[in-house]
Amino acid sequence: MHRRNSNSNVQDELSFAERTGRLVLVTTVIGVLAIGYYKLLKIAIDLLFSKIYLKFPFSTEHLIVTCMLTTGLLILIRTIYYCFCEFSALDYSNKGTKRKENIKRADDSYSMLFKFSYLYVGLSIFISALFTIATAIYFQNIIIISFFIVLLSPFLLGLFSRNFRQQIHKGLLIIKKNLKEIWAWGGISIIILMLLVVTMGGMQKLSFQVNFINDKKLPIKIHFENKIPDNVTLSFISTNDNEENDILTKEIKLTEKDFNRSFIEATEKSIKETKTHSIINYLNKEMKKGFQEAYLSKISHYDYNYALNASSYLKPGKNYVVIQFQIESLNNRFYKIVNEIDVSEAGAFLINKEDFVYK
C-alpha cells in the first residue's frame, strides 16, 4: 500500500510539473511575441497616423494594422482565459468531479489557444492579401498582380491533385465549424477600423496663444496652430466697487475668415508619368498605382493669427477680457480665457497676465 501511494504521488507531482511547465512556456512565448508585436505595431501606427487619406477614409495600411490589432487582442484574451483555467486546474483543494472539470477545461483552453491563434493569423493574412489584390486589380497595378499570380501558382496547380482538394475540403469544414470565431474576428476588426479612421482626423494637437501687449492701443493677439475653432467670441466687462458687472460692448464673434493664415502643407501623391521611359520610371509608376493621395499631418503646419486693439473697448477701473471658443472633436472641449485689465484715469494699463499659452 505504501509503495502504491508513493507511485500515485509521483504521478501527481509529474502532472503538476507538466502543467506549470506548460503555463510558464505559454506565458513566456506570448510575452516575447507581445514585445515584438508591440514594437512593430507602434511603428505601424506612427506611420499610419501621420497620414490622412483624401479620397477614401482608409487604405491598405489601415487594414493591415486593424488585422494586427484584432489578432493580438483575441490571442491575448485566449491566453488570459487559458491561464485562468490552468490556475484552476492547479488548485488541488478541489476533488473529484470538480477537479476533473477544471483539468478538462484547462486542456481544452490550451489546445484552443493554438488552434484559434492559427485561425486569427490566417484571417489577417487572407483579408490583407485579398484587399491588396482587389486594390491592385482596380488600379491595374501590374507588378502586384503579377506577384500574386506567381505566389498563387502552386495553389492553382495543386487543384489538379486529389489529395490537395481533400485538404481544401477539410479546411472548409474547419472554417464552417468556426464561423462564430470568424464572425467575432470580423466584427471586432470593423470596430477597430472605424476607431482608427475616426481618431486619425484628430491627430494634430491644438495649440494656441493669446498675448496682451501693454502699449497705448493695447493690442490683443490670438494665435492658433493647426486647428482653429468655428467661432471665437471676445467680451469686455467692467466691474465697479460693488462688484456689479457692466458689459461694455456686444460680443465680438470671429470666424476662420477673420484670421490671417499661413501654412506649410505636405501631401503624398502618386508619381506622374514622365516623358522618359526608363525601366526605373516604369517600375516606380506601377508600384505607386493604387496609392491614395494623403495629407501628411506630422509635416504640415498651419498658423492662424488675429489682432485687435482693445483700448477703445475698456473704461477706467477694473475690466475683464473674456475669450471663449470650442474645439469639436471626439471629446468636445470648451475653452474660456479671462484676463483682468485695470485702467487708470490717466489711461495706463495694468494687465494681470500678458501671455496665455496652451500646447
Residue 211: pLDDT over 90: yes
Instruction: Please say if the pLDDT value at position 93 is more than 80.
Output: no
Which domain-ending residue is among 147, 165, 200?
A: 200
At residue 291, the pLDDT reads 54
Same structural domain for residues 213 and 166?
Answer: no
Q: Would you put residue 358 in left (φ > 0), alpha (ψ -120 to 50) or beta?
A: beta
Question: Same structural domain for residues 99 and 58?
Answer: yes
Percent of the chain with pLDDT over 90: 17
Q: What is the model's pLDDT at position 58?
A: 67
Reported confidence tier of residue 210, pLDDT bands at 50, 70, 90 = very high
Residues 211 and 247 in one domain: yes
Residue 270 is predicted with a pLDDT of 55
Q: Determine the 3-state secondary structure of 304 from DSSP.
A: strand
Q: Are residues 132 and 153 in the same domain?
A: yes
Poorest-pLDDT segment among 11-20, 34-43, 269-278: 269-278
Alpha carbon distance 86, 194 (integer Å)? 35
Same domain, 146 and 119: yes
- Cα 126 from Cα 121, distance rounded (Å): 9
pLDDT of residue 4: 43
**How many domains in the chain?**
2
Q: How many CA atoms lie within 13 A of 238 on its CB side?
A: 15
Residue 42 cell numbers, joined: 507602434
The H-or-E segment that residue 22 falls in is helix 2-48
pLDDT at 234 over 90: yes
179-214: b or e for each residue (b if 16 or more CB lie within 10 Å)? eebeeebeebbeebbeebbeebebeeebebebebbe
Is 70 found in the same domain as 187?
Answer: yes
Which of 200, 217, 233 is at the close of a domain? 200
Does residue 287 lie in a domain region? no
Domain assignment present for 282: no
pLDDT, tens only, 107-161: 888 888 888 888 898 889 888 888 888 877 776 767 777 777 887 777 777 777 7
Q: Can you tell me the mean pLDDT for 267-283?
A: 55
211 lies in the same domain as 120: no
Whether residue 178 is predicted with pLDDT greater than 60 in this model: the reply is: yes
- Say if residue 109 is in the same domain as residue 134: yes
Containing structural domain, residue 326? 207-265+300-358
User: Mean pLDDT, to the nearest integer, of 160-182?
Assistant: 79
Q: If we measure between CA atoms, which residue out of 250, 344, 337, 290 comes closest to residue 60?
A: 290
Q: Quick one: pLDDT at residue 22? A: 83
Same domain as 167, residue 88? yes
Q: Are residues 132 and 249 in the same domain?
A: no
Q: Given the C-alpha cell 469639436, which residue does it identify?
A: 328
Whether 283 is covered by a domain: the verdict is no
Q: What is the mean pLDDT of residues 259-263?
A: 91
Coil, helix or strand at residue 203: coil
Confidence of residue 9 (pLDDT cuts 50, 70, 90): very low
pLDDT at 243 over 80: no
pLDDT at 288: 53
Q: What is the CATH number of the domain that holds 219?
A: 2.60.40
Q: What is the pTM of this model?
A: 0.61
* Residue 280 in this model has a pLDDT that exceeds 60: no
The single-letter code of the amino acid at 182 is: I
Does 170 share its domain with 70?
A: yes
In a shared domain, residues 183 and 224: no
| Among 148, 165, 200, residue at a domain's last position | 200
| Tens digits of residue pLDDT in 315-352 | 888 999 999 998 776 567 889 999 999 998 888 999 99
pLDDT at 281: 57
